[in-house]
Structure 1
Protein backbone atom coordinates (compact mmCIF):
# COMPACT_ATOMS: atom_id res chain seq x y z
CA UNK A 1 0.00 0.00 0.00
CA UNK A 2 1.39 3.35 -1.00
CA UNK A 3 -0.25 5.03 2.01
CA UNK A 4 -0.50 3.71 5.55
CA UNK A 5 -3.81 2.00 6.21
CA UNK A 6 -6.14 3.71 8.65
CA UNK A 7 -6.17 2.04 12.09
CA UNK A 8 -8.00 -1.25 12.49
CA UNK A 9 -10.28 -1.07 14.35
CA UNK A 10 -10.98 2.44 13.03
CA UNK A 11 -10.86 5.39 15.38
CA UNK A 12 -13.54 7.79 14.07
CA UNK A 13 -13.29 11.37 15.31
CA UNK A 14 -16.92 12.40 14.76
CA UNK A 15 -20.33 10.79 15.16
CA UNK A 16 -20.79 11.04 11.39
CA UNK A 17 -17.56 9.13 10.76
CA UNK A 18 -18.56 6.55 13.38
CA UNK A 19 -21.83 5.99 11.52
CA UNK A 20 -19.90 5.51 8.28
CA UNK A 21 -17.65 2.91 9.88
CA UNK A 22 -20.72 1.18 11.29
CA UNK A 23 -22.36 0.98 7.86
CA UNK A 24 -19.17 -0.40 6.31
CA UNK A 25 -18.79 -2.99 9.06
CA UNK A 26 -22.43 -4.04 8.62
CA UNK A 27 -21.95 -4.61 4.90
CA UNK A 28 -18.79 -6.67 5.48
CA UNK A 29 -20.20 -8.74 8.37
CA UNK A 30 -19.41 -11.39 9.37
CA UNK A 31 -16.02 -10.62 7.81
CA UNK A 32 -13.89 -7.81 9.25
CA UNK A 33 -13.13 -4.59 7.41
CA UNK A 34 -10.86 -5.28 4.44
CA UNK A 35 -7.66 -3.47 3.36
CA UNK A 36 -9.74 -1.66 0.72
CA UNK A 37 -12.00 -0.29 3.46
CA UNK A 38 -9.01 0.81 5.53
CA UNK A 39 -7.62 2.67 2.52
CA UNK A 40 -10.95 4.34 1.72
CA UNK A 41 -11.45 5.46 5.33
CA UNK A 42 -8.81 8.13 4.82
CA UNK A 43 -11.76 9.95 3.16
CA UNK A 44 -14.86 8.89 5.14
CA UNK A 45 -17.51 10.52 2.90
CA UNK A 46 -15.95 8.83 -0.16
CA UNK A 47 -15.85 5.53 1.75
CA UNK A 48 -19.53 5.94 2.62
CA UNK A 49 -20.61 6.56 -0.97
CA UNK A 50 -18.41 3.73 -2.20
CA UNK A 51 -19.90 1.38 0.38
CA UNK A 52 -23.48 2.21 -0.66
CA UNK A 53 -22.79 1.95 -4.40
CA UNK A 54 -20.75 -1.24 -4.28
CA UNK A 55 -23.18 -2.74 -1.80
CA UNK A 56 -26.00 -2.23 -4.30
CA UNK A 57 -23.95 -3.64 -7.18
CA UNK A 58 -22.89 -6.69 -5.16
CA UNK A 59 -26.10 -7.54 -3.33
CA UNK A 60 -29.13 -5.84 -4.86
CA UNK A 61 -29.08 -6.69 -8.56
CA UNK A 62 -31.06 -9.50 -10.16
CA UNK A 63 -27.92 -11.08 -11.67
CA UNK A 64 -26.93 -14.58 -10.67
CA UNK A 65 -23.75 -14.89 -8.63
CA UNK A 66 -21.80 -16.66 -11.39
CA UNK A 67 -22.52 -13.95 -13.97
CA UNK A 68 -21.68 -11.19 -11.50
CA UNK A 69 -18.43 -12.76 -10.33
CA UNK A 70 -17.30 -13.62 -13.86
CA UNK A 71 -17.76 -9.98 -14.90
CA UNK A 72 -15.77 -8.81 -11.87
CA UNK A 73 -13.03 -11.38 -12.43
CA UNK A 74 -12.60 -10.43 -16.09
CA UNK A 75 -12.16 -6.77 -15.10
CA UNK A 76 -9.54 -7.86 -12.54
CA UNK A 77 -7.59 -9.83 -15.16
CA UNK A 78 -7.62 -7.07 -17.79
CA UNK A 79 -6.53 -4.43 -15.26
CA UNK A 80 -4.02 -6.63 -13.42
CA UNK A 81 -5.94 -6.15 -10.16
CA UNK A 82 -4.87 -9.38 -8.51
CA UNK A 83 -6.15 -8.36 -5.06
CA UNK A 84 -9.60 -8.11 -6.69
CA UNK A 85 -9.06 -11.46 -8.42
CA UNK A 86 -8.05 -13.13 -5.14
CA UNK A 87 -11.34 -12.07 -3.56
CA UNK A 88 -13.67 -12.79 -6.46
CA UNK A 89 -12.31 -15.88 -8.26
CA UNK A 90 -13.17 -18.08 -5.24
CA UNK A 91 -16.67 -16.55 -5.22
CA UNK A 92 -17.05 -17.48 -8.89
CA UNK A 93 -15.99 -21.05 -8.10
CA UNK A 94 -18.42 -21.07 -5.18
CA UNK A 95 -21.17 -19.99 -7.60
CA UNK A 96 -20.49 -23.04 -9.76
CA UNK A 97 -17.86 -21.87 -12.27
CA UNK A 98 -15.53 -24.78 -13.04
CA UNK A 99 -11.76 -24.55 -12.77
CA UNK A 100 -11.64 -24.82 -16.57
CA UNK A 101 -14.07 -21.90 -16.74
CA UNK A 102 -11.87 -19.88 -14.40
CA UNK A 103 -9.00 -20.69 -16.73
CA UNK A 104 -10.90 -19.05 -19.59
CA UNK A 105 -11.60 -15.97 -17.46
CA UNK A 106 -7.92 -15.73 -16.53
CA UNK A 107 -6.61 -15.63 -20.10
CA UNK A 108 -4.61 -12.56 -20.90
CA UNK A 109 -6.36 -12.36 -24.29
CA UNK A 110 -9.95 -13.56 -24.23
CA UNK A 111 -10.52 -13.72 -27.99
CA UNK A 112 -7.44 -14.09 -30.19
CA UNK A 113 -8.63 -13.87 -33.78
CA UNK A 114 -11.31 -16.55 -34.13
CA UNK A 115 -14.23 -15.53 -31.94
CA UNK A 116 -16.25 -18.68 -32.67
CA UNK A 117 -13.33 -20.89 -31.64
CA UNK A 118 -12.93 -18.91 -28.40
CA UNK A 119 -16.65 -19.30 -27.74
CA UNK A 120 -16.51 -23.08 -28.35
CA UNK A 121 -13.58 -23.36 -25.93
CA UNK A 122 -15.48 -21.37 -23.30
CA UNK A 123 -18.59 -23.51 -23.66
CA UNK A 124 -16.41 -26.62 -23.56
CA UNK A 125 -14.97 -25.35 -20.26
CA UNK A 126 -18.47 -25.34 -18.78
CA UNK A 127 -19.40 -21.70 -19.23
CA UNK A 128 -22.91 -20.95 -20.46
CA UNK A 129 -23.57 -18.78 -23.48
CA UNK A 130 -24.76 -16.01 -21.14
CA UNK A 131 -21.56 -16.23 -19.11
CA UNK A 132 -19.42 -16.15 -22.25
CA UNK A 133 -21.18 -13.04 -23.55
CA UNK A 134 -20.73 -11.31 -20.19
CA UNK A 135 -17.00 -12.06 -20.34
CA UNK A 136 -16.76 -10.59 -23.85
CA UNK A 137 -18.75 -7.53 -22.81
CA UNK A 138 -16.63 -6.97 -19.69
CA UNK A 139 -13.46 -7.41 -21.72
CA UNK A 140 -14.49 -4.87 -24.36
CA UNK A 141 -15.80 -2.36 -21.82
CA UNK A 142 -12.58 -2.56 -19.84
CA UNK A 143 -10.12 -2.55 -22.73
CA UNK A 144 -11.89 -0.25 -25.19
CA UNK A 145 -14.64 1.54 -23.22
CA UNK A 146 -16.75 1.28 -26.40
CA UNK A 147 -18.44 -2.06 -26.98
CA UNK A 148 -18.96 -3.39 -30.50
CA UNK A 149 -22.51 -3.47 -31.86
CA UNK A 150 -22.12 -7.23 -32.32
CA UNK A 151 -21.22 -7.90 -28.69
CA UNK A 152 -23.93 -5.56 -27.43
CA UNK A 153 -26.52 -7.30 -29.61
CA UNK A 154 -25.44 -10.66 -28.18
CA UNK A 155 -25.80 -9.34 -24.64
CA UNK A 156 -29.19 -7.76 -25.34
CA UNK A 157 -30.39 -10.99 -26.95
CA UNK A 158 -29.69 -12.99 -23.79
CA UNK A 159 -30.44 -10.51 -20.99
CA UNK A 160 -33.37 -8.26 -20.07
CA UNK A 161 -32.93 -4.48 -20.19
CA UNK A 162 -32.61 -4.43 -16.40
CA UNK A 163 -29.92 -7.11 -16.55
CA UNK A 164 -28.04 -5.25 -19.31
CA UNK A 165 -27.93 -2.18 -17.05
CA UNK A 166 -26.85 -4.31 -14.08
CA UNK A 167 -24.07 -6.06 -16.03
CA UNK A 168 -22.87 -2.71 -17.35
CA UNK A 169 -22.95 -1.14 -13.87
CA UNK A 170 -21.06 -4.11 -12.41
CA UNK A 171 -18.30 -3.89 -14.99
CA UNK A 172 -18.08 -0.11 -14.63
CA UNK A 173 -18.05 -0.28 -10.82
CA UNK A 174 -15.30 -2.88 -10.69
CA UNK A 175 -13.21 -0.94 -13.17
CA UNK A 176 -13.38 1.85 -10.58
CA UNK A 177 -12.45 -0.60 -7.82
CA UNK A 178 -9.54 -2.11 -9.73
CA UNK A 179 -8.09 1.25 -10.68
CA UNK A 180 -8.18 2.36 -7.04
CA UNK A 181 -6.62 -0.92 -5.88
CA UNK A 182 -3.82 -0.89 -8.45
CA UNK A 183 -2.97 2.82 -8.18
CA UNK A 184 -2.56 2.60 -4.39
CA UNK A 185 -1.38 -1.04 -4.35
CA UNK A 186 -4.05 -1.96 -1.84
CA UNK A 187 -3.40 -5.43 -0.47
CA UNK A 188 0.17 -5.43 -1.84
CA UNK A 189 -0.76 -8.00 -4.52
CA UNK A 190 -1.27 -6.03 -7.66
CA UNK A 191 2.05 -6.76 -9.33
CA UNK A 192 1.94 -10.48 -8.57
CA UNK A 193 -0.42 -12.13 -11.07
CA UNK A 194 -3.14 -14.69 -10.40
CA UNK A 195 -2.61 -17.60 -8.06
CA UNK A 196 -4.29 -20.97 -8.09
CA UNK A 197 -7.85 -20.28 -6.93
CA UNK A 198 -7.64 -23.15 -4.47
CA UNK A 199 -4.98 -21.20 -2.59
CA UNK A 200 -7.32 -18.35 -1.69
Structure 2
Protein backbone atom coordinates (compact mmCIF):
# COMPACT_ATOMS: atom_id res chain seq x y z
CA UNK A 1 0.00 0.00 0.00
CA UNK A 2 1.44 3.35 -0.99
CA UNK A 3 2.62 5.31 2.01
CA UNK A 4 2.18 2.44 4.46
CA UNK A 5 5.17 1.87 6.77
CA UNK A 6 7.11 -1.35 6.79
CA UNK A 7 8.55 -3.00 9.86
CA UNK A 8 11.82 -3.74 8.10
CA UNK A 9 13.75 -3.16 4.91
CA UNK A 10 14.56 -6.01 2.56
CA UNK A 11 17.52 -6.54 0.31
CA UNK A 12 18.31 -9.48 -1.94
CA UNK A 13 22.04 -9.73 -1.68
CA UNK A 14 24.67 -11.58 0.28
CA UNK A 15 25.88 -10.45 3.69
CA UNK A 16 29.50 -10.96 2.75
CA UNK A 17 29.11 -8.94 -0.45
CA UNK A 18 27.62 -6.03 1.48
CA UNK A 19 30.13 -6.10 4.32
CA UNK A 20 33.08 -6.49 1.96
CA UNK A 21 32.13 -3.15 0.43
CA UNK A 22 32.47 -1.49 3.85
CA UNK A 23 28.74 -0.80 4.15
CA UNK A 24 26.95 -0.75 7.50
CA UNK A 25 23.95 -3.08 7.51
CA UNK A 26 20.99 -1.41 9.26
CA UNK A 27 19.13 -3.06 12.10
CA UNK A 28 16.59 -5.70 11.09
CA UNK A 29 17.65 -5.72 7.46
CA UNK A 30 16.93 -9.05 5.82
CA UNK A 31 19.55 -10.16 3.30
CA UNK A 32 18.46 -13.29 1.53
CA UNK A 33 16.76 -15.34 4.23
CA UNK A 34 18.94 -14.09 7.08
CA UNK A 35 18.15 -11.31 9.54
CA UNK A 36 21.29 -9.33 10.34
CA UNK A 37 20.67 -7.39 13.57
CA UNK A 38 24.02 -5.72 14.32
CA UNK A 39 23.48 -2.14 13.25
CA UNK A 40 24.51 1.42 13.65
CA UNK A 41 21.71 2.73 11.47
CA UNK A 42 18.14 1.49 11.97
CA UNK A 43 15.42 1.35 9.34
CA UNK A 44 12.62 -0.21 11.36
CA UNK A 45 9.19 1.31 10.74
CA UNK A 46 10.55 3.45 7.89
CA UNK A 47 8.21 4.10 5.01
CA UNK A 48 9.49 2.96 1.63
CA UNK A 49 7.52 5.73 -0.08
CA UNK A 50 7.07 9.45 0.33
CA UNK A 51 3.47 10.61 0.83
CA UNK A 52 1.26 10.64 -2.24
CA UNK A 53 0.84 13.38 -3.31
CA UNK A 54 4.44 14.30 -2.42
CA UNK A 55 5.14 17.18 -0.06
CA UNK A 56 8.22 18.93 -1.50
CA UNK A 57 10.37 20.86 0.94
CA UNK A 58 11.42 23.56 -1.52
CA UNK A 59 10.60 25.13 -4.87
CA UNK A 60 13.38 23.11 -6.45
CA UNK A 61 11.92 19.89 -5.10
CA UNK A 62 8.46 20.93 -6.30
CA UNK A 63 9.86 21.44 -9.81
CA UNK A 64 11.36 17.95 -9.68
CA UNK A 65 8.02 16.42 -8.71
CA UNK A 66 6.37 18.33 -11.55
CA UNK A 67 8.88 17.02 -14.09
CA UNK A 68 8.36 13.44 -12.97
CA UNK A 69 4.58 13.83 -13.01
CA UNK A 70 4.76 15.31 -16.51
CA UNK A 71 6.66 12.28 -17.81
CA UNK A 72 4.23 9.87 -16.16
CA UNK A 73 1.08 11.67 -17.32
CA UNK A 74 -1.67 10.65 -17.81
CA UNK A 75 -0.70 7.95 -15.32
CA UNK A 76 -0.18 8.85 -11.66
CA UNK A 77 3.17 8.76 -9.91
CA UNK A 78 4.36 5.19 -9.55
CA UNK A 79 5.69 3.34 -6.52
CA UNK A 80 9.18 3.68 -7.99
CA UNK A 81 8.79 7.47 -8.19
CA UNK A 82 7.57 7.66 -4.61
CA UNK A 83 10.59 5.67 -3.46
CA UNK A 84 13.11 7.73 -5.42
CA UNK A 85 11.58 11.00 -4.15
CA UNK A 86 13.13 10.35 -0.75
CA UNK A 87 16.10 11.90 -2.61
CA UNK A 88 14.72 14.48 -5.04
CA UNK A 89 18.02 15.08 -6.90
CA UNK A 90 18.41 11.34 -7.52
CA UNK A 91 14.78 11.13 -8.63
CA UNK A 92 15.33 14.03 -11.02
CA UNK A 93 18.40 12.50 -12.66
CA UNK A 94 16.70 9.10 -12.83
CA UNK A 95 13.66 10.65 -14.51
CA UNK A 96 15.78 12.38 -17.15
CA UNK A 97 17.96 9.36 -17.91
CA UNK A 98 15.19 6.76 -18.01
CA UNK A 99 12.97 9.14 -19.95
CA UNK A 100 15.63 9.32 -22.67
CA UNK A 101 16.15 5.54 -22.69
CA UNK A 102 12.42 4.82 -22.82
CA UNK A 103 11.20 7.46 -25.27
CA UNK A 104 14.03 9.02 -27.23
CA UNK A 105 16.01 6.17 -28.79
CA UNK A 106 15.62 4.84 -32.32
CA UNK A 107 14.83 1.30 -31.11
CA UNK A 108 11.41 -0.01 -32.02
CA UNK A 109 9.06 -0.70 -29.13
CA UNK A 110 9.24 -4.46 -29.59
CA UNK A 111 13.02 -4.73 -29.35
CA UNK A 112 13.17 -2.36 -26.39
CA UNK A 113 10.48 -4.14 -24.38
CA UNK A 114 11.91 -7.60 -25.07
CA UNK A 115 15.25 -6.39 -23.73
CA UNK A 116 13.67 -4.82 -20.63
CA UNK A 117 11.51 -7.87 -19.88
CA UNK A 118 14.48 -10.21 -20.19
CA UNK A 119 16.47 -8.10 -17.72
CA UNK A 120 13.50 -8.25 -15.32
CA UNK A 121 13.45 -12.05 -15.50
CA UNK A 122 17.21 -12.40 -15.02
CA UNK A 123 17.07 -10.23 -11.88
CA UNK A 124 13.73 -11.45 -10.52
CA UNK A 125 12.32 -7.92 -10.77
CA UNK A 126 8.65 -8.79 -11.08
CA UNK A 127 7.50 -5.22 -10.53
CA UNK A 128 9.48 -4.32 -13.66
CA UNK A 129 8.06 -7.31 -15.54
CA UNK A 130 4.52 -6.37 -14.51
CA UNK A 131 4.91 -2.94 -16.08
CA UNK A 132 6.76 -3.94 -19.24
CA UNK A 133 5.30 -7.32 -20.24
CA UNK A 134 2.00 -5.64 -21.29
CA UNK A 135 4.02 -3.14 -23.34
CA UNK A 136 5.87 -5.99 -25.05
CA UNK A 137 2.59 -7.68 -25.90
CA UNK A 138 1.17 -4.41 -27.17
CA UNK A 139 4.26 -4.05 -29.38
CA UNK A 140 3.51 -7.39 -31.01
CA UNK A 141 5.27 -10.06 -28.96
CA UNK A 142 3.09 -13.19 -28.95
CA UNK A 143 2.15 -15.14 -25.83
CA UNK A 144 4.48 -17.89 -27.02
CA UNK A 145 7.22 -15.30 -27.36
CA UNK A 146 6.56 -13.95 -23.87
CA UNK A 147 6.83 -17.51 -22.59
CA UNK A 148 10.34 -17.73 -24.04
CA UNK A 149 11.36 -14.31 -22.68
CA UNK A 150 9.99 -15.23 -19.25
CA UNK A 151 12.04 -18.38 -18.78
CA UNK A 152 14.70 -18.63 -16.11
CA UNK A 153 17.02 -20.26 -18.64
CA UNK A 154 16.74 -19.78 -22.39
CA UNK A 155 18.44 -23.07 -23.28
CA UNK A 156 16.02 -25.98 -23.58
CA UNK A 157 16.66 -28.98 -21.35
CA UNK A 158 18.37 -32.18 -22.42
CA UNK A 159 21.33 -32.88 -24.66
CA UNK A 160 24.68 -31.22 -25.22
CA UNK A 161 25.06 -27.46 -24.81
CA UNK A 162 25.45 -26.84 -28.53
CA UNK A 163 22.36 -28.87 -29.34
CA UNK A 164 20.37 -27.19 -26.56
CA UNK A 165 21.39 -23.76 -27.87
CA UNK A 166 20.34 -24.62 -31.42
CA UNK A 167 16.98 -26.00 -30.29
CA UNK A 168 16.46 -22.93 -28.11
CA UNK A 169 17.25 -20.66 -31.08
CA UNK A 170 14.76 -22.48 -33.31
CA UNK A 171 12.09 -22.32 -30.63
CA UNK A 172 12.65 -18.59 -30.26
CA UNK A 173 12.36 -18.14 -34.01
CA UNK A 174 9.05 -20.01 -34.04
CA UNK A 175 7.86 -17.64 -31.32
CA UNK A 176 8.81 -14.62 -33.43
CA UNK A 177 11.98 -13.81 -31.51
CA UNK A 178 14.59 -14.60 -34.13
CA UNK A 179 17.45 -12.33 -35.12
CA UNK A 180 15.60 -11.09 -38.19
CA UNK A 181 12.67 -9.83 -36.14
CA UNK A 182 14.58 -7.66 -33.70
CA UNK A 183 18.13 -7.32 -34.96
CA UNK A 184 19.97 -4.08 -34.20
CA UNK A 185 22.00 -2.97 -37.16
CA UNK A 186 23.47 0.52 -36.83
CA UNK A 187 26.11 1.72 -34.40
CA UNK A 188 23.49 3.96 -32.80
CA UNK A 189 21.16 1.00 -32.24
CA UNK A 190 23.95 -1.08 -30.72
CA UNK A 191 24.67 1.74 -28.26
CA UNK A 192 20.97 2.24 -27.51
CA UNK A 193 20.11 -1.41 -26.89
CA UNK A 194 23.21 -1.78 -24.70
CA UNK A 195 22.25 1.35 -22.76
CA UNK A 196 18.69 0.05 -22.40
CA UNK A 197 19.84 -3.26 -20.94
CA UNK A 198 22.29 -1.47 -18.63
CA UNK A 199 19.71 1.11 -17.51
CA UNK A 200 17.05 -1.46 -16.70
CA UNK A 201 19.58 -3.65 -14.94
CA UNK A 202 20.09 -0.63 -12.67
CA UNK A 203 16.32 -0.17 -12.33
CA UNK A 204 15.69 -3.82 -11.51
CA UNK A 205 18.50 -3.98 -8.95
CA UNK A 206 17.02 -0.95 -7.19
CA UNK A 207 13.49 -2.39 -7.31
CA UNK A 208 14.55 -5.73 -5.88
CA UNK A 209 16.89 -4.30 -3.23
CA UNK A 210 14.09 -2.15 -1.76
CA UNK A 211 11.18 -4.41 -2.80
CA UNK A 212 9.44 -1.54 -4.56
CA UNK A 213 5.85 -2.50 -5.23
CA UNK A 214 6.14 -5.53 -2.91
CA UNK A 215 6.64 -7.99 -5.80
CA UNK A 216 9.79 -9.78 -4.60
CA UNK A 217 9.44 -13.55 -4.57
CA UNK A 218 6.29 -13.58 -6.71
CA UNK A 219 6.74 -14.27 -10.42
CA UNK A 220 5.73 -13.17 -13.91
CA UNK A 221 2.06 -13.86 -13.23
CA UNK A 222 1.95 -11.33 -10.35
CA UNK A 223 0.97 -8.37 -12.57
CA UNK A 224 1.22 -4.83 -11.24
Query: What is the TM-score when the length of structure 1 is the normalising length?
Result: 0.83
CA contact (8 A) 1:122 1:132 kept: no
**Structure showing greater relative contact order (alpha-carbon pairs closer than 8 Å, 6 or more residues apart):** 1
Aligned residue number for residue 78 of structure 1: 122
Aligned residue number for residue 81 of structure 2: 37
Aligned residue number for residue 193 of structure 1: 219
CA contact (8 A) 2:116 2:197 kept: yes
Aligned residue number for residue 170 of structure 2: 120
Q: Secondary structure of 2:80's partner? A: helix
Cα deviation, 1:106-130, whole Å, max 9, x if unaligned, reads 0110125222211100011122325
Matched, 1:102 2:128: no
Matched, 1:129 2:129: no
Please state how far the C-alpha of 1:132 moved relative to its aligned partner: 6.6
Cα distance, 1:81–1:62 mapped onto 2, change above 3 Å:
same
Cα deviation, 1:97-154, whole Å, max 9, x if unaligned, reads 0000000000110125222211100011122325576xxxxxxxxxxxxxxxxxxxxx
Matched, 1:172 2:198: yes
* Greater per-residue helix proportion: 1
Aligned mates of 1:16, 1:98 — CA distance in 2: 44
Aligned mates of 2:60, 2:149 — CA distance in 1: 41
Aligned residue number for residue 66 of structure 1: 110
Aligned mates of 2:115, 2:144 — CA distance in 1: 16
Aligned mates of 2:196, 2:105 — CA distance in 1: 9
Question: What runs of 5+ residues in structure 2 fail to find an aligned partner?
Answer: 1-5, 10-45
Cα distance, 1:77–1:92 mapped onto 2, change above 3 Å:
same
Question: What runs of 5+ residues in structure 1 fail to find an aligned partner?
Answer: 134-157
CA contact (8 A) 1:83 1:186 kept: yes
CA contact (8 A) 2:155 2:165 kept: yes
Cα deviation, 1:69-120, whole Å, max 9, x if unaligned, reads 0000000000000000000000000000000000000011012522221110
CA contact (8 A) 2:119 2:204 kept: yes
Query: What is the TM-score when the length of structure 2 is the normalising length?
Result: 0.74
Aligned mates of 1:94, 1:128 — CA distance in 2: 18
Residue 8 of structure 1, aligned match among 26, 43, 52: 52
How many residues are matched?
Answer: 174
Matched, 1:57 2:101: yes
Please state how far the C-alpha of 1:53 moved relative to its aligned partner: 0.2
Aligned mates of 2:128, 2:116 — CA distance in 1: 8
